[in-house]
């Protein structure tokens, strides 16, 4: 219970969701690259950032459901935002095998790795600050 109170009011839940999305994106990109010569393969991509941006938008009203059967209203809770795998409607590349572009996939993989590394560092620093606050110590972020 104390852990929920400490962590739910910080940026840590959003960072954890973004780390999950980065890991999923890396798996999807790896699968795309592995199928680069598979005839008819349709590349996949992960959507996450737009939904997270909407959930973090404090200008959007947030409704409360009084019963489980009611439709959600307004912005979503961060806990309900998850990364989703989609197949975009891209045309087949000029080679005619499928729609996977190795250069584009490698660029997306590098971006995903940077985002994952940033998320890990950010979470580590937030946890260091919480730990210092619990111990009543001064902290410096590196």
Mean pLDDT of 63-78: 76
Query: Residue for token digits 């199928």?
Result: 35
The token pair that represents 110 in the structure block: 């590098």
pTM: 0.77
Displacement of CA 14 from its chain's centroid (Å): 8
Compute how many other C-beta atoms are within 10 angstroms of the C-beta atom of residue 120.
Answer: 13
Does 62 have pLDDT greater than 80? no
Does 26 have pLDDT greater than 70? yes
Residue 46 host element (H or E): strand 45-47
Give the residues across from 86 on adjacent strands: 45
Q: Is 74 helix (H, G, I), strand (E, B) or coil?
A: strand
State the Cα–Cα distance between residues 51 and 80, nearest whole angstrom. 10
- Per-residue pLDDT band for 103 (boundaries 50, 70, 90) equals very high
| Higher pLDDT among residues 103 and 96, named by residue | 103
């Amino acid at each position: 219970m104390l852990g929920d109170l400490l962590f739910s009011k910080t940026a840590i839940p959003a960072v954890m969701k973004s780390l999950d999305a980065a890991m999923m994106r890396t798996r999807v990109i790896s699968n795309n690259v592995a199928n680069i010569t598979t005839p008819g393969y349709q590349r996949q991509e992960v959507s996450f950032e737009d939904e997270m941006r909407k959930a973090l938008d404090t200008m959007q009203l947030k409704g409360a459901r009084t019963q489980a059967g009611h439709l959600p209203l307004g912005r979503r809770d961060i806990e309900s935002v998850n990364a989703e795998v989609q197949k975009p409607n891209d045309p087949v590349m000029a080679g005619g095998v499928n729609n996977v572009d190795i250069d584009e996939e490698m660029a997306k993989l590098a971006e995903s790795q940077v985002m994952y590394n940033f998320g890990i560092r950010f979470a580590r620093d937030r946890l260091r600050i919480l730990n210092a606050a619990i111990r009543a110590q001064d902290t410096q972020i590196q």
